[in-house]
Amino acid sequence: DSSVLAKLDDAEQNERQRDVQLSANTDAMPHLDFTTLLPSKDLSCKRPDEDILTNSVIDGFGDEPFEDFPPSQHQFHEQVLENAKKSRLQDGDKTSTPFRNTDCAIKAGTERNMEDKTKRPTKARRSMTDQLKRTMVCNAAAPSSVSRTVVLKEAVVSEEISVAMRAMETVSAETPDLGPFFGLPTKVKDLMFTLRGIKTLYDWQETCLNLDCVQTRKNLIYSLPTSGGKTLVAEILILRELLCRKKDCLFVLPFISLVQEKVRGLASFGLELDFMVEEYAGSKGKFPPVKRSNKASLYIATIEKAHSLINSLIETSRIEKLGLVVVDELHMLGDGSRGAVIEMTLAKVLYISKTTQIIGMSATLGNIIDLQTFLRAENYTNDFRPIQLKEYVKLHDTIYEVDPTEEECFRFSRLLNFKYSSTMQKIDPDHIIALVNEVIPTHSCLVFCPTKKNCENVAGMICKYLKEEFLQRRNAEKAVLLRDLKDSGNGSVCPVLRRTVPYGLAYHHSGLTSEERKLVEEAYSNGVLCLLTCTSTLAAGINLPARRVILRSPYVATDFLKRSQYKQMVGRAGRAGIDTVGESILILQDKERNMVSAKSLVCAPMENCYSNLMHDEGKGLLSLILSLIGLNITTSLDQVKEFLSGTLLHLQQRVLCAEKSLWDVVQQCVDLLKNKELITVTTHSHGQTLEVTKLGKATYKGSVDLTYSNMLYKDLSKGLDGLLLNSYLHLVYLVTPYDMISQCKPDWMTYFRQFTLLSAAEQKMSAAIGVPESFLARKAAGQTVKKSVNMDVVMRMYLALVLFTLLKETNLWSVADKFQLSRGFIQTLLSSASAFCSSVLHFTEELEEFWPFKALLTELTRRLSYCVKAELIPLMEVAGVMEARAKQLYNTGYKTLTHLANADPAVLSKTIQNLYKKQANQIVASAKMLLNEKAAALQEEVDDLLMIPLDLPTPSNAEELI
């Protein structure tokens, strides 16, 4: 404090003047009594060498109050005074007898004064300065007893600083910036390069990530053409939410295969950056999700599983922990029942959580404003493509370039230059062979066909006219692919693939098993295959780009292509980093050239996207209202209307509710739910109260279609009366999906033959549900059956027999052969059954009378999910590991999840045949993530068990109870 230092300087200056005067007086009057010059104190207790200046300097401060000084200066003042006091006490003890001889005293005083007159001031100043420095250095550390007012003042300041620090932490949590890579640590940028090979982002990606709405966490819809790099932006935003805000994220993808691919791709990021990656697809996913106290989770889910997950988080009051929801293919809001589920999911998030951000990735839509309004979102649109796309149409042997600036939308480009014999012309009137020969085998090609059978036929036709040099290209790798296909089929290979693969061709559609599709996709991505004939599902699935995309026809089955489907298909043309251009060719016939639809397909704006809550007689709206009541989001009709006012349906009600008003439809839905005994309506003076019944709760928690809810309840109740437990057949029948019945057309002789192979108990069970042997015998013999039989039960039993046989044999090919069904259909049936089994399990958990089913269906779900021998199931749980790969791993010694999690990817890729290093890395990372997930779940369970209950009775409460 400057005032203290100023006083100190003044005191020292006075002392110097006093020294000068003393010195002058001593020289002039050597025999005077110098005690008269000293302060009026008793000298009898003074030491001969006492430092008088120390006290005199302090005396110079006077008696001014110190209340305004900091505690350290109070301490300094008190410490000096205390030292002086101690010195006087000590001197009093040592010189208890005063000087008796005045002359002696004068002499001693004079000698001491003469000896130290030049030293004393310096010594005094040095001691005072040192003392002051020491005190100031210890300013904050040295405690001191000061007035209560001063202590309170400092406490207030300290608290204000603490509050400010907490506020700063809050601000940094809301707008975190942990590093130079779009608010993320440099480690993330390094991982992007190491794991993905990404060095820099496209300009549009940087622009999008730096948008104000992104920085302030507002909802966003961004639209770009296929292959523009939309997913990377979403992943960076997800990582920012997980790492910076420590919040959970939900990534919604349309297909199980995409979910599994994304789980594999992000598992390594999760391990390196310490967050969980959890798969919610098919029968996978825990409800409610494991509550993690020290890690954030990334849930990667299909559309249906995402809805169940949101319901579960709302029910357990954990929705606020969900920081971000990312929806891929947002335009699927307009896609039937799946679109209705997306709308339900997002509407609930918007209504319940004000802190959860929603990001939607979409194709360009005609009515994007409707989606913006629904999601309260900003919109970012860009027409960027990393590779230029040129679109063409072909008529006869002439190719026209698509040019929207032309009046007819088409401009002549060139004539095909390929010699066709008369035989070839008959087999290939569309000149597909000429078009593919222009690019393969040097470049890749995709040929989209209208049907699955057409895919196989076109692949076989092309092979007939390819040169023999195609057989020599990468023949060793193609031989390995054929061997892997054979292993995946337990010794069987599709005859079409056996013929086409040596030429570098294959087909790709839902008729293949998931393992076959995966092998074909990997071979195509690695250049072993140069051409795929495929259906439109490939365009919406995994990313398999090509130099040229050919659309065999402007139809999908018998339906004319939608503009969005067309854009998705042609968007596969152009491989970033490989090609400089991509091109698409749509093949047209004479009758289609002048069709308005053909012109609109390639040149018109994108279609509008409409709500599907009213789809299929309002089934989506019924499900939504039931879950709203069940989750206690709404308990009255007015609250239901309030919720619906925030939906896309409400925005588009003028178009979608032309016959009846939306509120009439809502009232009708409530009445229907009441009639189905899924809700109760209580009328009172203030209005009506809506409550869900036990059956209603089981229905929405099990995600059971309302059409089948009562039917399922009756089947399960009847099943309890005589449940067959010496085989899986009865349980399998109970979880066979109702919606697969319509696809079943059994061969009656095959049906009867397989029935006769059942045990007596199994045949008795079949008769009990309504499928007796006599009925099947008559049908197999071609006789008329007079007795009425429920054909839905008969068809469902047939599908159950297929699944039952598959569980016993675990050989999909042999089962397909026995029942004369395609292996693709059987795998679809198996996948649907495992998902429905999981739903039935959740359904029975809510109804006490079905308690026996819990343990039984838990194990059955596990078996249906993998349908392999028990020892392979732990390996099959790892994302990306199929049956053939699991067998390879098991036979090589990697028999458990722990083995796989601790494997060296380099050693693994060398040990396992045809396993690339990248695949090995992904498998090991996925295994580690799964192992971490299981361990974390167990740890959370332990923590919950050891936690002291919050409602534990206290002694006073216990006394009150007594």
The DSSP result for 17-77, as a single string, is: HHHHHHHHHHHH-TTS-GGGGS-SS-GGG--TT--HHHHHHHHTTTT---TTS-HHHHHHH
Over 250-298, what HEC string results?
EEECCCHHHHHHHHHHHHHHHHHHCCEEEEECCCCCCCCCCCCCCCCEE
Q: Which of 164, 139, 130 is nearest to 69 (CA)?
A: 139
What's the rounded Cα separation, in Å, for the pair 371 and 339? 13
Over 876-900, what HEC string results?
HCCCCCCHHHHHHHHHHCCCCHHHH
Interval 79-93: pLDDT, tens: 656 665 555 555 444
> How far does Cα 901 stand from its chain's mean position?
22
- Please tell me which residue, 510 or 645, carries the higher pLDDT value: 645
Neighbours of 286 (CB within 10 A): 12
Whether the pLDDT of residue 436 is over 90: the answer is yes
Q: Could you tell me which residues are beta bridge partners of residue 359?
A: 220, 326
Give the CATH superfamily of 388-603: P-loop containing nucleotide triphosphate hydrolases (3.40.50.300)
Question: 555-556 and 559-560: which strand pairing?
Answer: antiparallel
Q: Report the range of poorest mean pLDDT among 50-64, 168-182, 536-550, 896-910.
A: 50-64
Under 8 Å between Cβ of 361 and 231? yes
What's the rounded Cα separation, in Å, for the pair 838 and 305? 11
Burial tier of 48 (Cβ tally within 10 Å: 0-12, 13-18, 19+): exposed
Neighbours of 215 (CB within 10 A): 13
Please tell me what DSSP assigns to residue 406.
S
Name the phi and psi angles at 444, rounded to 5: -95, 160
Q: Which of 58, 104, 111, 47 is nearest to 81 (CA)?
A: 58
Whether the pLDDT of residue 40 is over 80: the answer is no
Interval 226-274: pLDDT, tens: 777 889 999 999 999 999 999 999 999 998 888 988 998 999 999 999 9
- Tokens 């939607």 -> residue: 360
Under 8 Å between Cβ of 612 and 618? no
Interval 741-772: pLDDT, tens: 998 888 999 999 999 999 999 999 999 999 99
Please tell me what DSSP assigns to residue 430.
T
pTM for this entry: 0.77
Q: Enumerate the domain spans of the chain.
A: 186-381, 388-603, 616-692, 708-943
pLDDT reported for residue 141 = 47
Alpha-carbon distances of 495 from 371, 475, 498, 894, rounded to whole Å: 47, 18, 5, 32
Instruction: Dig out the tokens for 280 from the structure.
Output: 């919610």
Please tell me what DSSP assigns to residue 196.
I
Q: Report the range of poorest mean pLDDT among 278-282, 743-747, 782-786, 859-863.
A: 782-786
Domains 186-381 and 388-603 in one fold: yes
Q: Which of 362, 366, 369 is nearest to 342 (CA)?
A: 362
Q: What is the band of 169 on the pLDDT scale with cuts at 50, 70, 90?
A: very low
Q: What is the band of 294 on the pLDDT scale with cuts at 50, 70, 90?
A: confident
The count of residues in the chain is 962
> How far does Cα 865 stand from its chain's mean position?
22
Interval 91-111: pLDDT, tens: 444 433 344 444 444 444 444
Whether the pLDDT of residue 507 is over 60: the answer is yes
Name the phi and psi angles at 534, rounded to 5: -150, 165
pLDDT reported for residue 951 = 79
Reduced to 3 states, what is the DSSP secondary structure of residue 863?
helix
**What is the CATH number assigned to the segment(s) 616-692?**
1.10.10.10
pLDDT reported for residue 832 = 92
Instruction: Dig out the tokens for 668 from the structure.
Output: 């009708």
Name the phi and psi angles at 392, rounded to 5: -135, 160
Instruction: Dig out the tokens for 210 from the structure.
Output: 């730096």
pLDDT reported for residue 596 = 47
Reduced to 3 states, what is the DSSP secondary structure of residue 556?
strand
Interval 331-386: pLDDT, tens: 899 888 999 999 999 999 999 999 999 999 987 778 899 999 999 999 999 888 88
Q: What is the band of 634 on the pLDDT scale with cuts at 50, 70, 90?
A: very high
Under 8 Å between Cβ of 864 and 833? yes
Note every long-range contact of 477-484, with CB atoms under 8 Å and residues 24 or more positions apart, other chains counting: 477/523, 477/526, 477/528, 478/502, 478/504, 478/523, 478/528, 478/529, 480/913, 480/914, 481/519, 481/523, 481/528, 481/529, 481/914, 484/519, 484/884, 484/914
Under 8 Å between Cβ of 515 and 504? no
What's the rounded Cα separation, in Å, for the pair 394 and 586? 6
What's the rounded Cα separation, in Å, for the pair 455 and 509? 8
Give the CATH superfamily of 186-381: P-loop containing nucleotide triphosphate hydrolases (3.40.50.300)
What's the rounded Cα separation, in Å, for the pair 23 and 29? 10
